[in-house]
Structure 1
Amino acid sequence: MQIKFSSKPSGDALAVAVYEKASLSPSAKALEEASGGSLTRAIKASRFTGDAGQVLEIAAPADVKAARIVLFGLGSKKTANGNVYEKAVAAAAKQLLLGGTQVLSVHIDAEDGELASRAALGATMAAYRFDQYRTKLKADKKPSLTTVEIVAVDDKAAKKAWKSWESVAEGVKLARDLVMEPPNILHPEEYAKRISKLEKEGLEVEILGESQMKKLGMGSLLGVSQGSVREAQLVIMRWNGGKEGDKPLAFVGKGLTFDTGGISLKPGAGMEEMKGDMGGSAAVVGLMRALAGRKAKANVVGVVALVENMPDGNAQRPGDVVTSMSGQTIEILNTDAEGRLVLADALWYTQEKFDPAFIIDLATLTGAVLVALGHEHAAIFSNDDKLADRLYAAGKASDEGVWRLPIGPEYDRHIDSDIADMKNLGQGRNAGSIAGAVFLQRFVNGKPWVHMDIAGTAMYAGSKDPRLPAFGTGYGVRVLDRFVRDFYES
């Protein structure tokens, strides 16, 4: 999808905004006059009211150069912020994606170049496809829309603002691509190779193999990997855009390229979705791509632990005890509670190696979080109120919502073990997501920290949001980019 900015439309389709109660925007009014009142007639003949997210497509009359007109609703003028524009223009682009239109000209009447850029981001997200392995796709099932032209009041300002948001779009696309890839293609070694290619974007990339991790004492992570023929990888990405000597911001991602559950084998139905159990790592990789692309003024380190969990004859067993890099011992009660085992060593390595200002980890950690929050919010757990509050604000600003759940000593006791320092499960079905969080807290060594359980938001096949594809959403890139740009760039 190509994004262009201009002061005059040139597309074979036009999109104009309508506010609530069918109130026409300036561009819509101009088109209404040019078309002899066709917009009002079409609105009256439909149930379109201009509410946010609504779309109405009409055939353009003969006196309009374009072939089609799309009305997109923005709702109230007072609440039409970047999120609203992003979603509304995504809906307009989605409407025409397969219908034969090649160039869609979207009128953005706001003078704010930022809003025009958010509209472009919405169009880009809506146009996302993952068709690499589809060899017999019919022509009418392939996208016809190749270009979205944003017609802005100040197209130069919008184009300048887009330079930053385009990097976010690239980061989201990368995260989605990684989640979408089949697990026989994107195993840990291949994943690490792909990350290393981001050095051309200005990132420093280091890859640790199993022999190096063994020397570091990462028995918790390697215990998960030992059932796979694929070697685990720990990949470290660094972006040094801040002041020299400033502590880095640290983001750590769970990267289970496939999770069978190990010896505690998952049910067969739906197991194919476990190719997406690396959604946390994809978010971190996408974030680092976005920060490097827009030259973020911050020092940032991203660490992703890439592992495959398989039920091999050499796989770890329920009842095993492993020793983590921290020296703490863990009793394995269920090999399907593997994400926390992988993150335990990744978190300890990150805090010990880089002494960051804080750590945020992302993981598709628990099915229990879907029971609590569904697909609409990621759960966050934190030992630092300021971090949690800032992440919540970034979630609101980016339209990638988070909701804080509690942790504390009363929950921490749930993972005490009779034979080791801790066990990798809590008390059955009760507080399952919290048990995962308090487990991870034992490996941050007192650093300010947030755990994001994104099991419900990173993979979602049933979303009605026009920005989201079926399955891999790329969740995490936008909220974390917003978090960094709003609170931590110098």
Structure 2
Amino acid sequence: MMLANRVAIAFHRNVHFYKRIRVTTAWKDAGGYEDTRIPRPIGCMSSVGQFRHFAIKCDEPCVVKGVVIGVYSKEGEREPKLTSSGEKFDDRAQGKISDLVRETQMKGDLGKGMVFMNVDPEFSAVAVVGLGQEGAGYNDLEMIDEGMENARVAAGVGARALQLQGVNEVYVDSMEYPEQAAEGSALAIWRYNSNRRKQDRTQIPKLELYDSPEMDAWTRGLFKAESQNLARRLSDAPANQMTPTIFAQSTVDALCPCGVSVDIRSMDWIEENRLNSFLMVAKGSCEPPVVLEVNYCGTAPEDKPILLLGKGITYNSGGLCLRPKKCMQLYRGCMAGAAVCVATIRAAAALSLPLNISAVLPLCENMPSGMAVKPGDVVTLLNGKTMGIKDVSKAGVVVMADPLLYAQANFKPRLVVDIATMSYGVCCGLGGSAAGIFSNSNFVYKQFEKAGGLTGDRVWRLPLWNYFKRLISPTLTYDINNRGRGPASSCIAAAILHELVPCVDWAHLDIRNVGMITQYAPLPYLLRDRMTGRPTRTIIQFLYQMACPDNK
């Protein structure tokens, strides 16, 4: 019996159009007709009108199901091989999937595949996606578990392809890594739709695990991906829709239902606690500044917490040192560090991690006005040191200085991790490949390195040498200069923060290159030119390793 009117859609990762390819359309034996339409690229909407659409009256929304199946690449004389779940689906479809893989000459290359229509009566579309080499594991040179990352890529590319076909219920093959398949697919189908009309919004399909008993791992993956998507939503919102006050309310809405306490500190409290470096930047804007104190208690209350500090400049115009207009809109993402902190704590609560986490999030805008901080101003920090503000556009270390000192004194943490979109220098050095990490502890760095390899969102250690300390005190007028000397801006910012954490294990994550707009070879399961929410999953994995050191 001829296969029912099958149309395949080929797709390639990092390519932003899809080609509709005829496989076979003859199904006269089934009472149909032979389709003679010429395949066209569907990168523009004009080609969509060539295909017939049918309206069906439904009392309830129609469910359109699709499934993502993985296929391993061809090795030597061996043909591409379906995953175990894929083989079961192929048996169910009477061998049609393996026939189509041969017919279309699929090689199983990572992120490449096709969508087949009308192959199965239950699933209107089947995405078969390449997983690359079977048995891939940890690659020491790449510092990444390639098997896990391949599952994310294949699941993400397949889920997105089905989403573009109007599928609203996507079943995903575990591809031997159900947690990673959940992450890739949930990250790939997410869209920032808040400012579109309801009828114009991209539909976010429901995700389900296909033919696997490992629901716990799948659910963990969804938790982690949804947390990263929360960070993406907070970071991607326009600045007028994510002011410090709105960010604070969004944090309450996200965390309080999970049993996390959130304290919102207003201007009076900030002045009373003498967070003067933070106030110097905040007073240039009409938007009132806010400091959030977030506490998650996963173990005994007397246990020392891990402290997270997130830079929360909800819009950074550069102040009186105004930034170029070309990239001005990107700096709504300068609160990505605070967004990642909120998302991380939400995931920790959802996963019930057995450790205590505290976070301090200073939220403000950096704007030019008659009240704005001026180049050359000097502020006295809580530890008695003075900081000169040579460059107002480099407000990150200024905003974080006093909150960092305050948090250490009040929470007495066992470890401090600060996350900030700090400096363009890390973009030049690492592109979008990895977040820059600075740490005074080899153990802490090794844990982050391990976490990055498992999540596919890597970190790369940058130097924290005394050489850079000499660059932040260039004059006898004050103790610290917020700009320093020389082009190593990321290292200079880290050296300034290091001066403020003398007696505790500490790590500084500079996410300027990975946490803001995706510009440099984006991951296949993240959207180009949108905020990324990175490295949320890496920090979640790091916290898990700290909470459960005996678990692999």
Taking structure 1 as the reference length, the TM-score comes to: 0.90
Name the counterpart of 1:124: 186
Distance 2:68 2:226 in 1: 24
Give the CA deviation at 1:47.
6.1
Give the CA deviation at 1:431.
1.0
Distance 2:344 2:244 in 1: 19
Conserved? CA contact 2:108–2:132, under 8 Å: yes
Decide whether aligned partners of structure 1 residues 47 and 457 sit closer, same or farther in structure 2, where only a CA change above 3 A counts. Answer: farther
Partner SS, residue 15 of structure 1: strand
Distance 2:180 2:292 in 1: 31
Give the CA deviation at 1:345.
1.2
Decide whether aligned partners of structure 1 residues 367 and 193 sit closer, same or farther in structure 2, where only a CA change above 3 A counts. Answer: same
The 5-angstrom pairing of residues 31-70 of structure 1 reads 31-32=89-90, 35=93, 38-44=96-102, 46=104, 48-61=106-119, 65-70=122-127
Q: Compare CA radii of gyration and give the structure with the larger one.
A: 2
Distance 1:405 1:306 in 2: 27
Residue 24, structure 1, aligned to residue 82, structure 2: yes
Q: Residue by residue, what CA displacement relative to the aligned partner does 1:239-298 show, whole Å, maximum 9, x if unpaired?
A: 110234221011110001000000111011110011000000000010111111221110
Decide whether aligned partners of structure 1 residues 47 and 455 sit closer, same or farther in structure 2, where only a CA change above 3 A counts. Answer: farther
Decide whether aligned partners of structure 1 residues 107 and 218 sit closer, same or farther in structure 2, where only a CA change above 3 A counts. Answer: closer
Deviates more, 1:29-38 or 1:50-59: 29-38
Residue 298, structure 1, aligned to residue 355, structure 2: yes
Q: Which amino acid aligns with 2:202?
A: K
List alignment gaps of at least 5 residues for structure 1. Answer: 1-9
Equivalent position to 2:266, from 206, 209, 214: 209
Partner SS, residue 126 of structure 2: strand
Name the counterpart of 2:54: none
Partner SS, residue 459 of structure 1: coil
Distance 2:223 2:130 in 1: 27
Distance 2:182 2:449 in 1: 24
Q: Which amino acid aligns with 2:252?
A: S
Partner SS, residue 317 of structure 1: coil
Distance 1:216 1:286 in 2: 27
Name the counterpart of 2:211: 152
Decide whether aligned partners of structure 1 residues 174 and 27 sit closer, same or farther in structure 2, where only a CA change above 3 A counts. Answer: closer
Partner SS, residue 490 of structure 2: helix
Partner SS, residue 78 of structure 1: coil
Conserved? CA contact 2:151–2:175, under 8 Å: no
Give the CA deviation at 1:31.
4.3
Decide whether aligned partners of structure 1 residues 268 and 392 sit closer, same or farther in structure 2, where only a CA change above 3 A counts. Answer: same
Distance 2:238 2:87 in 1: 48
Give the CA deviation at 1:86.
2.2
Equivalent position to 1:84, from 133, 136, 150: 150
Conserved? CA contact 1:334–1:425, under 8 Å: yes
Decide whether aligned partners of structure 1 residues 203 and 34 sit closer, same or farther in structure 2, where only a CA change above 3 A counts. Answer: closer
Equivalent position to 2:67, from 9, 14, 19: 14
Distance 1:59 1:199 in 2: 44
Residue 285, structure 1, aligned to residue 285, structure 2: no
Distance 2:212 2:199 in 1: 39
Q: Residue by residue, what CA displacement relative to the aligned partner does 1:44-96 show, whole Å, maximum 9, x if unpaired?
A: 454632123223222344x6543322112222221263332222111110111
Deviates more, 1:402-411 or 1:442-451: 442-451
Q: Which amino acid aligns with 2:480?
A: M
Please tell me the root mean square deviation across aligned C-alpha atoms, in Å.
2.1
Decide whether aligned partners of structure 1 residues 193 and 108 sit closer, same or farther in structure 2, where only a CA change above 3 A counts. Answer: closer
Give the CA deviation at 1:400.
1.0
Distance 1:136 1:300 in 2: 37
Decide whether aligned partners of structure 1 residues 199 and 104 sit closer, same or farther in structure 2, where only a CA change above 3 A counts. Answer: closer
Name the counterpart of 2:544: 485
Distance 2:491 2:174 in 1: 44
The 5-angstrom pairing of residues 293-332 of structure 1 reads 293-332=350-389
Q: Which amino acid aligns with 1:188?
A: P
Distance 1:174 1:108 in 2: 24
Name the counterpart of 1:164: 220
Give the CA deviation at 1:210.
2.3
Aligned residue-pair number: 469
Name the counterpart of 2:478: 420
Decide whether aligned partners of structure 1 residues 163 and 20 sit closer, same or farther in structure 2, where only a CA change above 3 A counts. Answer: closer
Give the CA deviation at 1:102.
2.5
Decide whether aligned partners of structure 1 residues 150 and 351 sit closer, same or farther in structure 2, where only a CA change above 3 A counts. Answer: same
Equivalent position to 1:250, from 297, 300, 307: 307
